[in-house]
Amino acid sequence: MISKGKALEILEKGLKYSDADQIELLLLEEDFYLTRFAENIIHQNMGRADHTVMARAVLGKKLGVAVTNKIDEDGIKKVVKDAIEIAKNQKDDPDFVLLPKSGPAPEVKGFYNNTHNFSPDDRAKGVKIAVDKSQKNDLISAGAFQTETDVTAVVNSLGTRQYFQETKANFSLTVSKDEQSGWAQGFSREVKDINTDKLSQIAVEKALSSRNPVELPPGEYTVILEEAAVASFLLFLAFLGFGGKTFSEGRSFMKIGEKITGDNITIIEDPYDPVMKSMPFDYEGVTKKKVVLIENGIGKGVVYNSYYANKNKTESTGHALQPNNTFGPYPKNMLISPGNSTLDEMIASTDKGILITHFWYINYMNPMKAQVTGTTRDGTFLIENGKIKSAVKNMRIGQSILEAFSNVELMTKERKLCPQYGVLMYVPAMKINKFNFIGG
């Protein structure tokens, strides 16, 4: 992996080639390795290593962005000149003020040698555990074991200089046969923390328990959402309302200072929480801030990059995405405060309800109400008289996330780290009343 000194040296050269009013250079390095398996057989084993440099040039109020994967001197020089040429052909953006200037970010340990050096043989051993457990129970396994090492470096002509190195490991599998299926996932920056044996056993047990599912009619039910299902809801809240762009454009459900969920819901964006170990600055090099999004049900704040912070006369919270994105800022390290229950206690307290492992293909129906649809998947169970009675055929939801989070009766003390679409979430399982299903 490219060292801090080398990364900053490369980008510093780019500054010298610029005659723009301002210039920003972002370097991304990725070492990505993946072992996929299906039908109880490894069918793909691959690795990818690449560099990306993005240059953002400013001419007055015109901005241009160019991208290259060449990090030699000629490549850096060209991407800077290309960004300047693109800026010349843009229209003025009256809301742009200037690039941000940020001092050094706090030190965060996000890199682990064990993950960086994890070999194909190591991944295969983890997969073998899943395959063996599946075959022993006459089931079929499919999934992936991936590890990744990333470097991010940012410099700009205002003096910003940042560098971060991180690792990620993710193991997920689905175990199935006919209508039976079970799923589990584990994530950590330290690959040795991923227990493939335990995860495989969870998926197998869910699949075995999914025999002979019953069909339930649409309607309102009490549900218990396991952590991955809660994380999917939280992710959509981030996309739909926790970012400065949707908020400033009036497309967000967020109402600062008003009640929008139940009193027991507190959501915080905190990259410095010990479970996150995330990059402490954004892709503009701005140091990230801890942001309380919802506190005891009250809307408290959203996250900003420099552009939308300037537009809303506030400060960036350090949540810029890469300069060629159009989505705007959103939180990437969210936590929901825990409750004081356990999953077993929540099941035992339920006269009639549905236990949901996770959701599949969630999409929004009404963004302003945070209303979404999707289906349950890989482990949906009927609870009666405090016990799991049978499996349930997958059902389609039509539910406002805000309403769901207003009807949370219980949450677990323990939380789980769930990665989804580049966002890390540390969340409890939840028991929710009056949850709406619209079909099968």
Would you give the DSSP letter of residue 89?
Answer: T
Q: Which residues make beta-bridge pairs with 156?
A: 24
| Distance separating alpha carbons of residues 246 and 254, to the nearest angstrom | 9
pLDDT of the residue at 205: 97
Using alpha carbons, select from 418, 398, 434, 440 the residue that is nearest to residue 229: 418
Q: Average pLDDT in the 400-428 region? A: 98
Residue 182 pLDDT more than 90?
Answer: yes
pLDDT of the residue at 179: 86
Question: Of 206, 230, 256, which marks where a domain is finished?
Answer: 206
Contact 336, 424 (CB under 8 A): no
Q: What is the DSSP string of 244-275?
A: HHHHHTT-----BTSB-S-TT--EEE-TTSTT
Q: Do 405 and 277 fall into the same domain?
A: yes
Q: Do 41 and 166 fall into the same domain?
A: yes
Q: Do 182 and 228 fall into the same domain?
A: no
CA atoms within 13 A on the CB side of 244: 22
Q: Average pLDDT in the 251-272 region? A: 97
Contact 315, 309 (CB under 8 A): yes
| Distance separating alpha carbons of residues 365 and 260, to the nearest angstrom | 18
Alpha helices in 89-226 (DSSP H): 113-116, 120-136, 196-208
pLDDT of the residue at 88: 98
Q: Do 122 and 224 fall into the same domain?
A: no
Contact 285, 100 (CB under 8 A): yes
Q: Do 79 and 225 fall into the same domain?
A: no
Q: Do 421 and 289 fall into the same domain?
A: yes
| N-terminal to C-terminal alpha carbon distance within the chain | 48
Q: Do 143 and 251 fall into the same domain?
A: no
Number of domains into which the chain is organized: 2
pLDDT per residue as tens digits for the range 52-101? 999 999 999 999 999 999 999 999 999 999 999 999 999 999 999 999 99
pLDDT per residue as tens digits for the range 136-179? 999 999 999 999 999 999 999 999 999 999 999 999 999 999 98
Tell me how far the alpha carbon of residue 289 is from its chain's centroid: 17
Q: Average pLDDT in the 234-247 region? A: 96
Residues 6+ apart with CB under 8 A from 274: none
Contact 409, 384 (CB under 8 A): no
Q: Do 268 and 141 fall into the same domain?
A: no
pLDDT of the residue at 142: 98
Q: Which helix (H) or strand (E) holds 229?
A: helix 227-241
CATH assignment of the domain containing 107: 3.30.2290.10
Q: Do 160 and 21 fall into the same domain?
A: yes
Neighbours of 327 (CB within 10 A): 10
Residue 440 pLDDT more than 80?
Answer: no
Q: Do 157 and 227 fall into the same domain?
A: no
Residue 49 CB burial class (10 angstroms; 0-12, 13-18, ≥19) = exposed
Q: Which residue has the tokens 């340990």?
A: 109
Question: Of 206, 230, 262, which marks where a domain is finished?
Answer: 206
Question: Of 175, 206, 237, which marks where a domain is finished?
Answer: 206
Per DSSP (E only), the strands in 300-370 are: 333-336, 352-366
pLDDT of the residue at 287: 98
Q: Do 396 and 281 fall into the same domain?
A: yes
Token reading at 372? 């979404």
Global pTM reads 0.96
Q: Do 201 and 230 fall into the same domain?
A: no
Mean pLDDT computed over every residue of the chain: 97
Containing domain of residue 136, as a range?
A: 4-206
